[in-house]
Structure 1
Amino acid sequence: MTRFTKIWIGLKFYAVTCLCIMSNHFDRGISCSVRTLMIKLLIVMLGFVLTANEVSAQRFEFPGRRKKEIVPFKMVKNLMIIKLMINGKGPFNFVLDTGVGLFLISDPKLIDSVEIKNLRSINITGFGDGEPLSAYVTPSIDVGFGSTNAKSLSAAILKKDIFELSNYVGMPVHGLIGYEFFNSFIVKINFTLSTLTIYRPETTYIARKGYRVPLMIEDRKPYLVSNIELTSGEKIAAKLILDTGAGHPISLETNGGVPFEVPKVNIAGNLGIGLTGPISGYISRVKSLSIGKYTLNNVIAAFPDYDDVGSKVYSVSRNGNMGITILKRFNVIFDYNESALYLKPGIILNEPFEHDMSGLELTSAGQKFDRMLVSRVEPGSSAAEAGLSKDDEILAINFKPVSEMSPSEIDNLFRSKSDRSFIIDVLPHGAKSNKEKERIILTLKRRI
């Protein structure tokens, strides 16, 4: 079970404004990581260093009279990856994430390769024990996407890639981009075709057959209201941050200043790492939730411990977070300038919500990211019962080498069907050659 959590510090220092928990309990392949949690936290803290002039009015522009463009993206483990040019060089892979309010470069090697200048060095404290985190900020880099360009964009740059998103995704990832992108265009996302259609923001564009949902843009992030029915029968109108970088369906943090009641059927555990330590809580389901006129049933939800998260929500009053596992059931259009989201049902709208049933947290390794290592085994899970341990290497699944499989393909297998069995070839940690590999049977088990 992969745990992935996001906590943002809001515009008031240390005001934790969102927990994006992702655990493979929810759905392997929809995860946004504990790494992304710390990235979100870091981005806002770095934002304090930039002046108002440095972060205002930074937009992408079309060349000439061009009004729209269609550009592909890649969906990998429920993260949207787009290609950007930086200072005329690249392309580089960036996560497209509405939960990010400041452009972040996580790969410090880009400083030299794209000749980034006007850097200010800072140290960030508050990440727990250990040395302060070192980073740079710059008010001036040029970023290109397709034919569009944003000049003198502010950015934060890590001095060390401590988040290792590349190992999680299984391909090079150089950073994250959010508000600057979505505030520059009307953005149409076709999850079926994995394409972005971007329009000039002044374009008079009404989504054909699309249902309009009001958005609230606060602190450079989008929010909406969703009607949710809990398993207790209680119905609430929940204000949720809408986050394309969050892999879960929803997390519910605070219900009018008090904790949400956790359903009786749940999985308890450590959901991730926050600013001050581990985030505990539960994974369960809600009876239903709405997004616009559409209702989704039996939705998997996170209930983080109130003392860890809900009690620390200060800067933006809200109840929780809605992630890409909801959004990708539609084709969507973001229009920040008109504070609107348009929805058109996709082919997977009514598919059931499933969680990971293996209990494995995996990470890619090797120069080509073609090796798969076990980074954690959930206690009591199918993987634990099968004898898998941390630092074991998965060599093959049903006789197919993992080097020939994508991380998303593996994720989808492990959430496919309860009681489904796989033959797993494993190289135990400490083994010196493939002659010591073992073959085990892993049988998936649904727990919520």
Structure 2
Amino acid sequence: MGQAFASDTVYFTSKRKSITLPFKLVHNLIIIPVQINDSQPLHFILDSGVKNTLITRLNYSDSLSLNEAGRITLQGLGTGHELEAIYSKGNIMRMPGIVGVNHQVYVLMEDIFNLSTRMGMPIHGIIGYDIFRNFIVKINYSSKTLTLYRPDIKLKVPKKGEVYPLHIENTKAYVEADVRQHNGDSIKVKMVIDTGASHSISLYLPTDARLQLPPKVMEAYLGRGLSGDINGKIGRINSFSLGRYELRDLPASYPDEESIKAALNLANRNGNIGSDILKRFTVIFDYPHERMVLMPNSKYSEPFYYNMTGFEISTPLPGANFYIVSHVIDDSPAKASGLLPGDQLININGRDCTELALDELLELFESKPGRKVRLKLKRDSKLVNVEMVLQSRI
């Protein structure tokens, strides 16, 4: 076995300096194979915003042989209730070429995230800090590869890369950035870097009196946190700057105060940076040397879009291209065209939905304003044809 550094419990199984793993990118999120004890490889989201390894969904067929240590209550973002979990230690975690001993795992008693139905494939859990603190982590979003380097090496920074100080507080990584609002005000913000958030940025209005909602916003369902649903608004800001890189005209999420109650007491942060920004770069997270490196890729200059249909979809049979309307937003093209939760998508713009991967569908919903979308739906065993025009409401 390779050497474990200090008291760390995750390390390479050989003397190699680095290991490169392919990953799947769905909904802007990174999915990697992880084995716990004697399990098959499971699908985990690599999430820099999460401290503990969470198992969110287990099937009867997923044998983990967990050492049960007791039950605890978890709290996080979202409004709702506290969540029960089994806390287990002394487990073995494996990824190709990597082993983690005495690994702590939390198994949620209720699959509140519904990640599998949202991601269109079985998702078993979330892993984060255990990987980031033990390695230097390079994420190449273009080639969909994750390279882990031994923590004791000093990586050379390429010429086109820019280095930022990373503040690690309570297992989370923060950077300072600048937000330019609709009124031209530029505000320095402290942001947590969150590879597990698929949006561009989220701003917490109560943390700074100068942060304001843009004049044009729409109500939105922003996702789920440990404590339930996160609701809020989405509106565009003029720009977001990290050092010399400036991204313009991007949608920002503004979660309701109730949804972020837990976060407001933490580290005095103003929000988070999600993977709709990160995917425009090759990113090096170097927790051991408290720095981050960004190198722009071919997506850097692409415009920022978001779902302009006004409806969300889920996949009740993860792994099969079977799509159901899960949520219809008021005052949206979907609502105006009569779409209902529970409608099954059969055909979109003449293409059979069974031939479309989830990401292809989402790409269509996020293309550009004015685009026509023709849907054939199944509702109560009847076929219904619907037409809508993608519309930017912010």
TM-score (norm 2): 0.91
Shift of 1:212: 0.5
For the residue of structure 1 that corresponds to 2:354, the secondary structure is helix
Which deviations, in whole Å up to 9, do the C-alpha atoms of 1:369-394 show, x marking residues without a partner?
A: 32100011111211112211111111
Distance 1:133 1:341, change over 3 A: closer
Shift of 1:446: 1.4
Shift of 1:293: 1.5
Native 8 Å contact 1:98 1:242 kept in 2 = yes
The equivalent of 1:160 in structure 2 is: 110
Native 8 Å contact 1:257 1:310 kept in 2 = no
- Any unmatched runs of 5+ in structure 1? 1-55
2:358 to 407, 428, 432: 407
For the residue of structure 2 that corresponds to 1:380, the secondary structure is coil
Native 8 Å contact 2:89 2:103 kept in 1 = yes
Shift of 1:367: 6.0
The equivalent of 1:5 in structure 2 is: none
Native 8 Å contact 2:71 2:85 kept in 1 = yes
Native 8 Å contact 1:216 1:339 kept in 2 = yes
Amino acid at match of 1:100: V
Distance 1:229 1:343, change over 3 A: same
1:195-210 counterparts in 2 under 5 A?
195-209=145-159, 210=161
2:343 to 377, 389, 392: 392
Which deviations, in whole Å up to 9, do the C-alpha atoms of 1:236-289 show, x marking residues without a partner?
A: 110000100111111111465437221212223565667888755421111111
Is it true that 1:348 corresponds to 2:294 in the alignment?
no
Amino-acid identity (%): 35
Distance 1:396 1:57, change over 3 A: farther
Whole-angstrom distance in 1 between the partners of 2:75 and 2:240 = 38
Native 8 Å contact 2:321 2:358 kept in 1 = no
For the residue of structure 2 that corresponds to 1:61, the secondary structure is strand
Amino acid at match of 1:298: D
Whole-angstrom distance in 2 between the partners of 1:129 and 1:63 = 42
1:88-237 counterparts in 2 under 5 A?
88-109=38-59, 113-122=63-72, 133-209=83-159, 210-237=161-188
Distance 1:189 1:378, change over 3 A: same
Distance 1:374 1:259, change over 3 A: farther
Instruction: Identify the range of structure 1 (328-337 vs 268-277) with the bigger mean alpha-carbon deviation.
Output: 268-277
Whole-angstrom distance in 1 between the partners of 2:162 and 2:345 = 44
Shift of 1:153: 0.7
Amino acid at match of 2:393: R
Shift of 1:312: 6.2
Whole-angstrom distance in 1 between the partners of 2:149 and 2:258 = 43
Amino acid at match of 1:443: V
For the residue of structure 2 that corresponds to 1:82, the secondary structure is strand
Shift of 1:92: 0.6
The equivalent of 1:446 in structure 2 is: 392
Distance 1:329 1:385, change over 3 A: same
Native 8 Å contact 2:79 2:258 kept in 1 = no
For the residue of structure 2 that corresponds to 1:168, the secondary structure is helix
| Structure 1 runs (4+) greater than 6 angstroms displaced | 125-130, 273-278
For the residue of structure 2 that corresponds to 1:288, the secondary structure is strand
Greater strand share, structure number = 2
For the residue of structure 2 that corresponds to 1:166, the secondary structure is helix
1:423 to 341, 366, 374: 374
For the residue of structure 1 that corresponds to 2:362, the secondary structure is helix
User: C-alpha root-mean-square deviation of aligned residues, in Å?
Assistant: 2.5
Whole-angstrom distance in 2 between the partners of 1:342 and 1:334 = 7
Distance 1:102 1:297, change over 3 A: same
Distance 1:120 1:323, change over 3 A: same
Distance 1:124 1:269, change over 3 A: closer
Native 8 Å contact 1:251 1:302 kept in 2 = yes
Whole-angstrom distance in 1 between the partners of 2:106 and 2:149 = 27
The equivalent of 1:379 in structure 2 is: 330
Distance 1:439 1:112, change over 3 A: closer
Whole-angstrom distance in 1 between the partners of 2:12 and 2:73 = 36
Native 8 Å contact 2:207 2:264 kept in 1 = no
Which deviations, in whole Å up to 9, do the C-alpha atoms of 1:22-50 show, x marking residues without a partner?
A: xxxxxxxxxxxxxxxxxxxxxxxxxxxxx
Whole-angstrom distance in 2 between the partners of 1:114 and 1:260 = 46
Native 8 Å contact 1:124 1:134 kept in 2 = yes
TM-score (norm 1): 0.80
For the residue of structure 2 that corresponds to 1:437, the secondary structure is strand
Number of positions where the alignment pairs a residue of Structure 1 with one of Structure 2: 387
Amino acid at match of 1:291: L
Distance 1:173 1:233, change over 3 A: same
Is it true that 1:247 corresponds to 2:198 in the alignment?
yes
Q: Which has the higher contact order (CA 8 A, sep 6+)?
A: 1
Whole-angstrom distance in 2 between the partners of 1:313 and 1:424 = 41
For the residue of structure 2 that corresponds to 1:267, the secondary structure is strand
Distance 1:308 1:198, change over 3 A: closer
Whole-angstrom distance in 2 between the partners of 1:179 and 1:129 = 25
For the residue of structure 1 that corresponds to 2:67, the secondary structure is coil
Distance 1:408 1:317, change over 3 A: same
Native 8 Å contact 1:329 1:349 kept in 2 = yes
